[in-house]
Amino acid sequence: MLEYYINDILRSLFVLVIIGGGIYTVLRMNRNRIWHDVFRQIWSVPIARISFGVICLYLFVFLLDSISYPLFKEVNKKHVFVNSRTLLEVIYTPAREESYSAPMAKYQFTDKKMENKGIHPAGTNINGEDVLMNAFKGIKVAFTIGGLTTLIILPIGIFFGLIAGYFGKGADTTVTYVYSTLACIPEILLLIALMNIFGNGVLQLCIALGITSWVGLCRIVRGETMKQKNMEYVQSARALGQSHFRIIFKHILPNVMHIILITSILRFSGLVMAEVILSYLGLGVPPEIASWGIMIDQSRGELARDPMVWWNIITAFSFMFILILSVNFFGDTIRDVLDPRTRVKGVKA
């Protein structure tokens, strides 16, 4: 049990470090005049402000469900660790019912004579679990998969994209051949094959998504690098005798970071949808982990009932739809501000 407690502590610290690092990076970037103007332009768009607020709300729930709260039991005058609960479970502790319960219902859905132990805003599922709680926990799965997969995609896509775009010839041919081969295979079929090999699990799913998702980023970075390497500032750096890798990572990489940022944000929605689809097919996260894909999978039989149990799928779909819509709106605004070719009316440079 102590091992689980230590793992919970390490997981909580990892989440805090990642979120703290992100906030610190944004604050440092805001001190730069150029990035300060970019943030100001993004904030001037009303839909971007609303989307950012929704994303922050989701991140807050994710943070609450990622920080564990240890539970101890006194045995022979000693405190023994028995379990851990997240801050979300401490704040919101819905009662478990016998079976289905409709939203805000006082009695069981299948037995009108049996009174519920508590009130459930989004009802309960067949196991008596609070649907709203499962939807909250689905946020943790979505951000975990999106975050970990992005950490896998970024170094692979950026490195090979920069190498292929800058050196060309043999390096470009090799990298292009590899990602073209992967791109020829339907992504969902490749994901299903990889999940059958790796098995179900959050980490396994992140690795499988990382293997299939770096291709798009690599292609974009390669094309942008090929354009940047012919710019005057790169030619000047060569004339000064700077090494190739210094030119790549000190001069070219900062000038393609806006493309990387836009691609990563917009790709997040695809990663969330991939988890939902694979979990729906029984190849994603294990059934004991609450996720939106598992909730939608459980709803297949519920929709065929008479009377129909609709609240499980509606809640999961609503949480997923709001997050993806907010991320896409926010990503589109960032793209319009950073990329002059797609700048729309109303977003000024």
What would the pLDDT profile of 195-207 be if each residue is shown by its tens digit? 888 877 788 888 8
Predicted pLDDT at 82: 54
Taking the CB of residue 323, how many other CB atoms lie within 10 A of it? 24
- pLDDT tens for 81-97 read 556 778 888 888 888 88
Reduced to 3 states (helix: H, G, I; strand: E, B; else coil), residue 303 is: coil
Going along the chain from its start, the domains and CATH numbers come out as: 2-91 (no CATH), 131-342 (1.10.3720.10)
- pLDDT tens for 127-149 read 888 899 999 999 988 888 888 88
Residue 306: pLDDT band by 50, 70, 90 thresholds? Answer: confident
Taking the CB of residue 32, how many other CB atoms lie within 10 A of it? 11
Residue 114 has phi, psi (to 5 degrees) of -95, 120
Predicted pLDDT at 79: 56
Q: Which helix (H) or strand (E) holds 83?
A: strand 78-86
- pLDDT tens for 90-128 read 888 888 888 888 888 888 887 777 888 888 888 888 888
| Residue predicted with more confidence, 313 or 29 | 313
The DSSP code sequence of 14-78 is HHHHHHHHHHHHHHHHHHSHHHHHHHHHHHTSHHHHHHHHHHHHHHHHHHHHHSEEEEEEEETTE
Predicted pLDDT at 98: 82
- pLDDT tens for 203-243 read 888 888 888 888 888 999 998 899 888 888 888 888 888 88
- In order of 2, 278, 306, the CA distances from 71 in angstroms are 11, 34, 42
The DSSP code sequence of 90-105 is HH--PPP-SS-B-TT-
Q: Which helix (H) or strand (E) holds 85?
A: strand 78-86
